[in-house]
Amino acid sequence: MSRILLQTTIPPTADDWSMDRFGLLREHLTSLGHEVTARDRHVDASGSDPVLRELHRDRFDQVWLFAVDVGDGLAAADCVGLIRFRQEGGGLLTARDHQDLGSSLCRLAGVCGAIAAAHHFHSVNPEPDPTRHCPDDRDTPTISYPNYHSGCNGNYQRITVPAPIHPLMQRVDGQPLAFLPAHPHEGAVHAPDETARVIAQGRSLVSGRSFNLAVVWEGQGLGRAVASSTFHHFADYNWNADAGCPSFVTEPPGRTMQTEPQALADTLRFMENLAAWLHPA
DSSP for 31-93 reads HTT-EEEEE-----TTSS-HHHHT--TTT-SEEEEE--SSS-S--HHHHHHHHHHHHTT-EEE
Per-residue b/e over 175-194, b at no fewer than 16 CB within 10 Å? ebbbbbbbbbbbbbbbbbee
Q: What is the CATH number of the domain that holds 234?
A: 3.40.50.880
Number of domains in the chain: 1
Looking at residue 281, what is its pLDDT? 85
CA atoms of 246 and 265, how far apart (whole Å): 26
Q: How many Å apart are CA 183 and CA 152, to the nearest integer? A: 5
Q: What pLDDT was estimated at residue 20?
A: 98
The pLDDT of residue 223 is: 98
End-to-end Cα separation, the chain, in angstroms: 12
Q: Which helix (H) or strand (E) holds 265?
A: helix 261-278
Least Cα distance to 9 among 62, 65, 59 occurs for 65
> Which H/E stretch holds residue 267?
helix 261-278
Q: Give the range of the structural domain holding residue 129, as residue numbers without chain letter.
A: 3-278
Task: Find all residues with CB under 8 Å of 21, minimum gap 6, and list them.
Answer: 235, 236, 237, 243, 245, 246
Extended strands (E) in 171-224: 179-181, 188-189, 196-203, 210-217
Continuous segment of H or E residues that includes residue 119: strand 119-120
Pairing, β 91-95 against β 156-158: unpaired
The answer to whether residues 222 and 89 touch, using CB atoms and an 8 Å cutoff, is: yes
CA 3 to chain centre: 18
* Per-residue pLDDT in tens (0 to 9) along the chain, 281 residues: 999 999 999 999 999 999 999 999 999 999 999 999 999 999 999 999 999 999 999 999 999 999 999 999 999 999 999 999 999 999 999 999 999 999 999 999 999 999 999 999 999 999 999 999 999 999 999 999 999 999 999 999 999 999 999 999 999 999 999 999 999 999 999 999 999 999 999 999 999 999 999 999 999 899 999 999 999 999 999 999 999 999 999 999 999 999 999 999 999 999 999 999 999 98
Number of H helices, E strands in the chain: 7, 11
